[in-house]
Structure 1
Amino acid sequence: MQTKFMTAAQAAQLIQDGDTVGLMGGGGGLMEATHLFEAVQERFLSTQTPTNLTVIHALGIGDKKTKGMNCFAHEGLVKRVIGGHWVWSPAMQQLALANKIEAYILPGGVSSQLMREIGAGRPGLISHVGLGTVCDPRHGGGRMNDAAQDNLAEVIQIDGREYLRYKPFPIHVAIVRASSADEDGNISFEHEAANLDAQSLALAARNSGGKVIVQVKERLPKGALKAREVRIPSAWVDAIVVDPQQSTSYAIPFDPAFSGELTGQARLSSEAQDHAREVAAAQEAFSERQAVARRAYQELFNTGKARPVINYGVGVPDAVAKLIAARNEQHRIYQTIEHGTYGGTLMDGVLFGYARNATAMLDAATQFDFYGGGGLDIAFLGFGEFDEEGSVNVSRLGGVTVGPGGFIDIAQNAKKVVFCGTLAAKGVKLETGDGQMRVAAQGAVKKLVQKVDQITFSGPQGLVRRQEVLYLTERASFRLTPEGIELFEIAPGIDLQRDVLDQMDFSPRIARDLKVMDSAHFTA
């Protein structure tokens, strides 16, 4: 029997000019097939092949320098990129900005689910996710620059309701990361920190008549894997590359707490260490970040659920997660992240997407099914800007493609959405910690604008879906109403006209019972 095991250079030869290549991974190296990515880059730089690739990925991949999607950020290597999140590859962002490539975005969950639909031979993904946003062909069709001319979705009606049909296309090559492979080519994820969309990607390539290339750390004897440990069967796999240096993240060689392998006393000990770290993190120098987090925390148990299912985004929402952990209240919630993980201690920064001592790990497509079906009670998310209709932009800022990641899937489907951030940016100087909030310098960039540059969350659609939507800043709190954005709360020490209304490009409704936030939120 011919072996499926080969070198990374040999596997890279399987990619042909014009292929559509599916990639997986998360920022910080999460389930990233780094060795294979580098082999594709090396082949291109040496031979100028392959060329004109279409690359699709659901989440952000890279280190903002040389790894991940940065390996593909070469003019000529890629023709089109359909990316869920772009910030981990500034080089790819610059190619998009210069119209050197066709740049598109898809919601992260839609991307994962579309791969599954392609693999199943169904007519694309039919979903409500993305209606009214940049992914809707009436609002941009996922196009992020002038070079992008196609719509990735079309509007259809079923039983009188609008949906988007995200169009299918063949996946010629899937580059997947896993932990181990046995001699037959069966694949296991047992040492990975997530599952992501590995299975969906492999399925899409296999049933498109394409190639499935898997990078693993370990080659095992035949029969070493139990049937339930196999996540991708040998029948789907064409090539396997062993990288003994494969690590949990760019900086962490291996940690069983991230892969969920600790049990019993070892896990309890690890969780105690996690809690100590969270308490220390929550006690960092007090700032407006903690003030917003404290205010957002108040919304956590106003969902009507005794133990709500929640999701955190990046940025200020990280502080909400730390606050819950510092108060030792994880048992009062079901904590989830879009990568498929439940429970545990969430990491932030470059390790966003990792969780130590998670209680469950699902495939990303299944996690987004849960979100899309209404399983998420409350989401804490950041915002780049929001407008008078309550629409939010996080996907294109300053003309640069950022992408939504899982933001659209989450924001559109949570029963309650709490957007957290600062009211202005660039040069803002704030003074707080004594129970008051004072603005020493207003900031050059207004984030509350008349109309957002791009719609990543649609306020009008939120009203149609009867979502409860809040916008919490360090100076004032706002909510979405049928009559528009309403300002219902102000921070102590803030001048309503000078510090809030004059720093906005639209005039909000002012609540008749305008309240002052609790000074405890602003006390160090």
Structure 2
Amino acid sequence: MTTPGTARPSRRVRGGPLFLSADEAIAMVQPGDTLAIGGSGGGLVEPDLLISTLGRRFAETGDPSGLTLVHTTGIGDRAGGGMDHLAHPGLARRVIAGNWGMAPRMSEMVIENQFEAYNFPQGAMSQLFREIAGGRPGLLTHVGLGTFCDPRIEGGRLNDVTTEELVQVVELAGREWLFYPRIDLDVCFIRGTIADENGNISLEQEAANLEMLSIAQATRNSGGLVIAQVKYVARAGSLPPRSVEIPGICVDVVVVNKDQRQTITHDYNPAFSGQIKQALSHLDPFPLDQRKVVARRALAEIRDGDVVNLGVGIADGVASVAAEEGWSDLFTLTVEQGLVGGVPARGVIFGVATNPIAVMDQPYQFDFYDGGGLDITFLGFAQIDRRGNVNVSKFSKRVVGTGGFVNISQNASTVVFCGTFNAGGLNAVPGEGTLDLRSEGRHGKFVDEVEQITFSAEQAQLRGQRILYVTERAVFTLGDSGLLLIEIAPGIDLQRDVLDQLPGPVEVSPNLRTMDASLFTDQPLGEEWRRVVIEGEHA
């Protein structure tokens, strides 16, 4: 790292961008470079040809080695794509990432101590690129205080070989902040849809913008090399100015991938990028199961006019339930990748939305989140302890990473954690207004102490947030001393199916109630539940 403003040798291409093959472009990456890679899970705006070519080149030649890799979100498909193309011992010396869950082999290499590994919040990572672009020393933010990103806890370090402390605690204006320092970038991989002959790039067929512009500006102003992957090349000056997301002054090399897909599941869906409005009646139905019960109960916490964020996993089912019920117009759903409105996609292409009303650059979405713009968020969980702390980032020898979880859970007014009570074989069958618990899962998700603090209950209490934990059989809230049980499902035995399954005692509300039987039927929730959402009867 260098002091901002310190001169570094420039890698810029003078006289306009070079149009090269992927192999020619990758040959410009040098051993020891710091490489920033744009993109998100499921192939979303992923420069896939560049990533796979880099991995193949290293596998064949051992070059370039010792790279520092920097990426904001999880890039991959959980099946060997994305960052897993780079999962070769020796290719990376250090990886700084916002999420690891889409690249399981890279995650395994973290546990194996194959390279230094850090995990910082997705929002902090995306905003950090803007700070680098502006020549500032780094990002100052409240995001991450009290979590594993706090240097007084783990400092975002993920394994034994990672010893350098990058994050600092700073006192300013009478309060504590975390400081994430700048990273000097030697090269970056970004992606767009069309580049004209001058290197101006549009993203009109992409399902998000992410932080492609910020990465390009940060790399360019660090004296680095900006390599862009696109699907088409247009005549110079033919792109409408307002369609240009990345100006050619920030682009050094263009690589054309004629086989570029919008996501790994779609060659091109115009409803993802806003060219059409798809009829929501054509979305896949959400079958009644234990996951749908959780999504339905969580939906009751939304209020008319709320601005909402949905996390990946069970939480993203809230959008599907709302669409089925015809309630999507009562609130505005958002996704941290920069999408506002529409119905967020589920599964591996999380980060995409059908029928978005706005597509923002990701750093600005996180500005809105960090400043308190979210009324409510629905997030998953891997572990919850009796104090109410939540872990989604590192557990059972798995490194998943936080993604946007820390930003979102720390700043939304109401946080609803959604998940099944346990995992690994749980079979809880809803029907006819009750829950039939046929078998328990092998892995308890309620634990005495979380393995990593991704959400701090203590910090949430200090901030005055409203916190709920919704499962298929029980609903808890965050009380003064930790978890407080407030609801159980019909058909569930309080002692046997809930209290005896917890690692220790929790407080039970004297007003413990039974979850509404309509959540456990295969019928629409109907107008009565619509009034719950509009009038806030569950609040």
| Range into which the TM-score falls when normalised by the shorter chain | over 0.9
Contact 1:429/1:442 (<8 A) preserved: yes
Partner of 1:514: 512
Judged with a 3 Å threshold, the aligned counterparts in structure 2 of structure 1 residues 123 and 287 are, in CA distance, closer, same or farther, namely same
Equivalent position SS for 1:478: strand
User: How big is the shift at 1:42?
Assistant: 2.1
Instruction: Name the residue aligned to 1:359.
Output: 357
TM-score normalised by structure 1 residue count: 0.95
**8 A contact 1:69–1:89 mirrored in 2:** yes
- The answer to whether the Cα contact below 8 Å between 2:157 and 2:163 also exists between their aligned partners in 1 is yes
Q: Is the 8 A contact 2:319 2:328 kept in 1?
A: no
Question: In the alignment, what sits opposite 1:106?
Answer: 120
The total of aligned residue pairs comes to: 508
Task: With the length of structure 2 as denominator, give the TM-score of the two structures.
Answer: 0.92
Matched, 1:475 2:473: yes
Residue from 111, 129, 132 that aligns with 2:146: 132
Provide the residue aligned with 2:57 in structure 1: 43
Find the counterpart in structure 2 of residue 276 from structure 1. Answer: 281
Match of 2:415 in 1: 417
Per-residue Cα deviation, 1:458-483 (whole angstroms, up to 9, x for no partner) = 11111111110000111111111222
* 2:77 counterpart letter in structure 1: D
What is the SS of the residue equivalent to 2:177?
A: strand
Partner of 2:319: 321
CA distance in 2, matches of 1:413, 1:144: 24
In the TM superposition, residue 64 of structure 1 has moved relative to its aligned partner by: 2.0
| Higher deviation after alignment, 453-462 or 9-18 | 9-18
Matches within 5 A, 1:72-87: 72-87=86-101
**Structure 1 match to 2:9:** none
Q: What aligned pairs does 1:437-476 form with structure 2 within 5 A after superposition? A: 437-476=435-474
> Helix, strand or coil for the counterpart of 1:46?
helix
How far is the alpha carbon of 1:220 from its aligned partner? Answer: 0.9
Tell me, yes or no, if the aligned pair for 1:141 and 1:150 is still in contact at 8 Å.
no
Measured in 1, the distance between the counterparts of 2:153 and 2:117 equals: 15
Q: Which whole-Å CA distance do the structure 2 matches of 1:347 and 1:220 have between them?
A: 31
> Cα distance, 1:435 vs. partner?
1.5
In structure 1, what residue type is equivalent to 2:520?
F
For residue 342 of structure 2, what is the aligned residue in structure 1?
344
**Could you tell me how far apart the structure 1 residues matched to 2:56 and 2:216 are?**
24
- The answer on whether the counterparts of 2:16 and 2:252 sit within 8 Å (CA) in structure 1 is no
Report the equivalent of 2:536. Answer: none
Structure 1: which 5+ runs fail to align? none
What residue in structure 1 maps to residue 7 of structure 2?
none
Task: Measure the CA separation in 2 of the matches of 1:83 and 1:399.
Answer: 18
Which residue number corresponds to residue 292 of structure 1?
A: 294
Instruction: Report how far residue 86 of structure 1 moved.
Output: 1.3
Which residue is 2:207 aligned to? 193
Cα deviation digits, residues 122-179 of structure 1 (max 9, x gap):
1211111111111111111101111111223111111221110011120111100001
- Percent identity over the alignment? 46
SS state at 2:161 partner: coil
For 1:370, which of 363, 368, 371 is the aligned residue?
368
Deviations 1:389-430 (A, max 9, x none): 211000012121100111111111111000011111223232
Query: 2: CA distance between counterparts of 1:140 and 1:220?
Result: 48
Q: Find the aligned partners of 1:478 and 1:357 in 2 and give their Cα distance.
A: 34
For 1:434, the equivalent position in structure 2 comes to 432
| Contact 2:333 2:344 survives alignment (8 Å) | no
**Residue correspondence of structure 1 range 300-319 to structure 2 within 5 A:** 300-301=302-303, 306-319=304-317
Structure 1 residue matching 2:460: 3-state secondary structure: helix
Instruction: Give the distance between the partners of 1:110 and 1:128, measured in 2 at CA.
Output: 10
RMSD after superposition: 1.3
Please, which of 65, 85, 95 is the counterpart of residue 109 of structure 2? 95
Amino acid at match of 1:352: F
Q: Secondary structure, in 3 states, of the residue corresponding to 2:309? A: strand
Whether 1:166 and 2:168 are equivalent positions in the alignment is no
2:238 is equivalent to residue 224 of structure 1: yes
**Whole-angstrom CA distance in 1 between matches of 2:99 and 2:458:** 24
Question: Contact between 2:16 and 2:199, CA under 8 Å: does it hold in 1?
Answer: no
Matched letter for residue 83 of structure 2? M
Structure 1 CA distance, aligned partners of 2:241 and 2:299?
Answer: 43
Q: Equivalents in 2 of 1:3, 1:170: separation in Å?
A: 22
- The yes-or-no answer on 1:490 pairing with 2:500 is no
Q: Quote the offset at 1:442 in angstroms.
A: 2.5
Question: CA 1:46/1:406 → structure 2, altered by over 3 Å: closer, same or farther?
Answer: same
Q: CA deviation at 1:3?
A: 4.7
1:426-473: CA deviation from partner (whole Å, max 9, x where unpaired): 232323312222323232221111110001111111111111000011
Distance in structure 2 (CA, Å) of the matches to 1:334 and 1:431: 31
1:2 Cα deviation after fit: 5.7
In 2, the alpha carbon distance for the partners of 1:154 and 1:437 equals: 48
Distance 1:64 1:447 in 2: 22
Report if aligned partners of 1:424, 1:503 keep a CA contact under 8 Å in 2: no
Q: Indicate conservation of the 8 Å contact 2:312/2:380, yes or no.
A: yes
Amino acid in structure 1 at the alignment position of 2:282? R
- The whole-number CA distance in structure 2 between the counterparts of 1:229 and 1:391 is 44
d(CA) in 2 for partners of 1:168, 1:351: 30
**In structure 2, do the counterparts of structure 1 residues 43 and 510 end up closer, same or farther at CA, with 3 Å as the change threshold?**
same
Instruction: Map Cα deviations across residues 291-343 of structure 1 (whole Å, 9 max, x no partner).
Output: 11121111112xxxx40000111111122111111111111111100010111
CA distance in 2 between counterparts of 1:94 and 1:449 reads 23
Letter in 2 for 1:287: D
- Determine the structure 2 residue equivalent to 1:56: 70
* Contact 2:377 2:416 (8 Å CA) reproduced: yes
